[in-house]
């Protein structure tokens, strides 16, 4: 299938770019599963923007820089923050029903923010945004949405019928889940918008498909990858043996929720930071982790039951309904929570136009390292990045359309030297092993010895997985496992190279902060 522009990923970044480009071009959007399966639909909190009287761009910029441990690119932060109000207006015009406070939008506050600046749709903002973007994309005749396509590798010069050493990207090979066949998608420009690498970890709030596919494909295509050691752990994921990965939004703390040690009943966050529950996520996550480890707990308590019951139900209707179904009444009792991997702050290096190192390849959203988040993402800046950079990719492609060559003739996917696997257990075993040792050795608190142990295991697994990949036909699980081992290696290598504790990277061997804030950049 040939398009003017190919977009891999059907979340906020991908659909924002698609809607902008579809005004002039034919766009194909690939989704790994269903269109709504990505991380956008899971986002509870909201979108940060300067909208409150008395708030300023400079204040939002400074809050972002402080949370990011000074590692942010200030030009990127300014670019995103200054474009935020316009992005909110576009979403409102698409029909996103943001909560109102009289005639104005209702703004909430989250950890690390100095003002109320989070627009939201109850506690299910991402779902409302996803539905609005999908509806607009489905109604646009210039956009073709193709679900159930698992991207395998980017198409380069070496895949041309006439071999070339060109590093230009011409599209992607993708496995059709329904037919089991690998299909070829080509375009003059390709945008990676396929999310982060949360499923590298045992406990994560990320959707099942967050296996770092875009990061791994870009790395194999010769793109630089940056700051993969900065893996954000959300402080408050529901602890429940039956329900996995249910996030308790940051806004619960923003609206007065407090953290307590269930053993002693002590409110402990003021012991760790003067901002208490409104401290940035990395500080809160480490505090929760420390309380759990010190007292041998399974979880800590997040309590908002001191607020009026109607207030709680009004502000957090989805969380209330979900937990009441599990026998937890949050208007009367605390919520058991644990830290869990939540966001990938590193990724494919891009500039302010969303361009990667590979000609013809753009990227937007969690798959990237744009310079916005630095060493730690400020709450509710993630969806914002998707809208601003999705739009930026589209604008640059349009402005430089005449310089984008037509894709050449591409060889079809070759599976003449492989057979169907008779050892699927290998994939399941390797998957479990990676996620377990990444959680234990490359988690919230790190040491050099733990990282070296993880590196040793990843080296062994990489050889096993590459051997398996070279002998058997691809399946969705095998494609994801190949990417998972790639991004795990990138995370470990990045963590080993940073000899300081900054933002989300906290190591007992180097607890101090270096004088200079320098990005980790890995070159293929």
Give yes or no: residues 56 and 184 share one domain: yes
Give yes or no: residues 321 and 207 share one domain: no
Give yes or no: residues 62 and 201 share one domain: yes
The pLDDT score that the predictor gives to residue 149 is: 98
Residue 409 lies in a domain: no
Give yes or no: residues 114 and 169 share one domain: yes
The CATH number for 278's domain is 3.90.700.10
Active site residues: 281
* 521-522, strands of its sheet edge to edge: 368-369, 347-349, 225-226, 521-522
Q: What is the mean pLDDT of residues 270-279?
A: 94
Which tokens in the block code for residue 30? Answer: 């690939």
Q: What confidence tier does 241 reach under pLDDT thresholds 50, 70, 90? A: confident
CA dist 315 to 100, 122, 355, Å? 12, 6, 39
The predicted-structure confidence for 3-49, as pLDDT tens digits, reads as follows 999 999 999 999 999 999 999 999 999 999 999 999 998 887 799 99
DSSP labels, 276-305: GGGS-HHHHHHHHHHHHHHHT-S-EEEE-T
Tell me which of 293, 327, 342 is where a domain ends: 342
Q: What is the mean pLDDT of residues 474-501?
A: 97
At 245 the three-state DSSP class reads coil
Report how far residue 254's alpha carbon sits from residue 123's, in angstroms, rounded to the nearest whole number.
12
- Residue 333 predicted with pLDDT over 90: yes
Domain carrying residue 372 = 2-229+345-403
**Helix spans in 22-122 (H):** 57-67, 74-94
Residue 414 lies in a domain: no
More confident residue, 243 or 461: 461
Residue 327 lies in a domain: yes
Residue 212 lies in a domain: yes
Query: Quick one: how far is CA 66 from the chain centroid?
Result: 20
Report how far residue 120's alpha carbon sits from residue 43's, in angstroms, rounded to the nearest whole number.
10
- Average per-residue pLDDT for the chain: 94
**171 closest CA partner among 145, 151, 190, 150:** 190
Which tokens in the block code for residue 189? Answer: 């420009």
The pLDDT score that the predictor gives to residue 275 is: 93
Tell me which of 370, 403, 436 is where a domain ends: 403
The number of domains in the chain is 3
Residue 520 lies in a domain: no
430: part of which helix (H) or strand (E)? helix 424-441
Give yes or no: residues 337 and 350 share one domain: no
Give yes or no: residues 40 and 146 share one domain: yes
The predicted-structure confidence for 347-391, as pLDDT tens digits, reads as follows 999 999 999 999 999 999 999 999 999 999 998 999 999 999 999
Percent of the chain with pLDDT over 90: 84
Give yes or no: residues 10 and 151 share one domain: yes
The pLDDT score that the predictor gives to residue 419 is: 87
The pLDDT score that the predictor gives to residue 136 is: 97
| Dihedral sign for Cα atoms in the order 221, 207, 478, 27 | negative
Tell me which of 342, 362, 387 is where a domain ends: 342
Give yes or no: residues 374 and 437 share one domain: no
Give yes or no: residues 115 and 212 share one domain: yes
The predicted-structure confidence for 149-206, as pLDDT tens digits, reads as follows 999 999 999 999 999 988 999 999 999 999 999 999 999 999 999 999 999 998 888 8
Give yes or no: residues 147 and 30 share one domain: yes
Residue 523 lies in a domain: no
Report how far residue 45's alpha carbon sits from residue 250's, in angstroms, rounded to the nearest whole number.
7
Residue 168 lies in a domain: yes
* Helix/strand/coil (H/E/C) assignment for every residue in 442-460: CCCCECHHHHHHHHHHHHH
Instruction: Find the range with the poorest average confidence among 59-73, 263-277, 279-293, 375-389.
Output: 279-293
Q: What confidence tier does 505 reach under pLDDT thresholds 50, 70, 90? A: very high
The CATH number for 46's domain is 3.50.50.60
Give yes or no: residues 374 and 454 share one domain: no
Q: What is the mean pLDDT of residues 299-304?
A: 97
What do you get for the CA distance between the two ends of the chain, in Å? 29
Q: Buried b / exposed e across 300-325, counting CB within 10 Å, b at 16+? A: bbbbbbebeeeebeebbeebbebbee
The predicted-structure confidence for 401-455, as pLDDT tens digits, reads as follows 999 999 999 999 988 888 888 777 889 899 999 999 998 899 999 999 999 999 9
Residue 41 lies in a domain: yes
**299 closest CA partner among 338, 259, 272, 351:** 338
pTM (predicted TM-score): 0.90
Give yes or no: residues 384 and 469 share one domain: no
């Amino acid at each position: 299938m040939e398009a003017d522009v190919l977009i891999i990923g059907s979340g906020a970044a991908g659909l924002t770019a698609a809607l902008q480009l579809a005004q002039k071009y034919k766009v194909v959007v690939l989704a790994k599963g269903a269109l709504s399966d990505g991380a956008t639909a899971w986002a509870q909190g909201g979108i940060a923007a300067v909208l409150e009287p008395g708030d300023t761009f400079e204040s939002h910029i400074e809050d972002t820089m402080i949370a990011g441990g000074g590692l942010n690119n200030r030009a990127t932060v300014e670019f995103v923050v200054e474009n935020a109000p316009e992005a909110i207006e576009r979403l409102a015009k698409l029909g996103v029903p943001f909560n109102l406070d009289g005639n104005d939008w209702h703004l909430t506050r989250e950890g690390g923010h100095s003002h109320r600046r989070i627009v939201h749709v109850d506690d299910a903002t991402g779902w409302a945004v996803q539905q609005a973007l999908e509806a607009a994309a489905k109604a646009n005749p210039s956009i073709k949405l193709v679900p159930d396509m698992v991207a395998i590798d980017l198409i380069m010069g070496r895949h041309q019928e006439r071999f070339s050493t060109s590093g230009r990207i011409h599209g992607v090979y993708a496995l059709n889940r329904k037919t089991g066949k690998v299909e070829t998608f080509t375009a003059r420009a390709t945008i990676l918008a396929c999310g982060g690498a949360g499923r590298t970890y045992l406990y994560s709030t990320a959707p099942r498909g967050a296996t770092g596919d875009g990061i791994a494909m870009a790395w194999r295509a010769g793109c630089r990858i940056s700051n993969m050691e900065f893996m954000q752990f959300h402080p408050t994921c529901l602890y429940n043996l039956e329900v996995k990965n249910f996030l308790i939004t940051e806004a619960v703390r923003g609206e007065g929720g407090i953290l307590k040690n269930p053993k002693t009943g002590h409110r402990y966050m003021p012991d760790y930071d003067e901002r208490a529950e409104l401290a940035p996520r990395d500080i809160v996550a480490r505090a929760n982790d420390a309380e759990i480890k010190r007292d041998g707990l399974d979880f800590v308590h997040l309590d908002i039951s001191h607020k009026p019951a109607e207030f709680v139900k009004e502000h957090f209707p989805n969380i209330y309904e979900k937990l009441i179904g599990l026998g937890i009444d949050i208007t009367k009792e605390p919520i058991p929570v644990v830290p869990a991997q939540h966001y990938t702050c590193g990724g494919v290096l891009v500039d302010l136009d969303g361009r990667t190192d590979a000609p013809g390849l753009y990227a937007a959203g969690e798959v990237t390292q744009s310079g916005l988040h630095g060493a730690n993402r400020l709450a509710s800046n993630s969806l914002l990045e998707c809208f601003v950079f999705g739009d930026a990719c589209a604008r640059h492609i349009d402005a430089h359309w005449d310089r984008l060559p037509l894709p050449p003739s591409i060889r079809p996917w070759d599976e003449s030297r492989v057979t169907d696997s008779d050892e699927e257990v290998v994939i399941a075993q390797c998957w479990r092993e990676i996620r377990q040792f990444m959680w234990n050795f490359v988690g919230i608190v790190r040491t050099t010895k733990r990282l070296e142990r993880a590196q040793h295991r990843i080296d062994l697994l990489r050889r096993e997985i590459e051997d398996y990949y070279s002998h058997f036909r691809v399946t969705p699980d095998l494609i994801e496992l190949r990417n998972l081992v790639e991004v795990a290696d990138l995370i470990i290598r990045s963590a080993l190279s940073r000899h300081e504790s900054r933002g989300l990277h906290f190591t007992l061997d180097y607890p101090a902060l270096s004088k200079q804030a320098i990005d980790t950049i890995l070159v293929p």
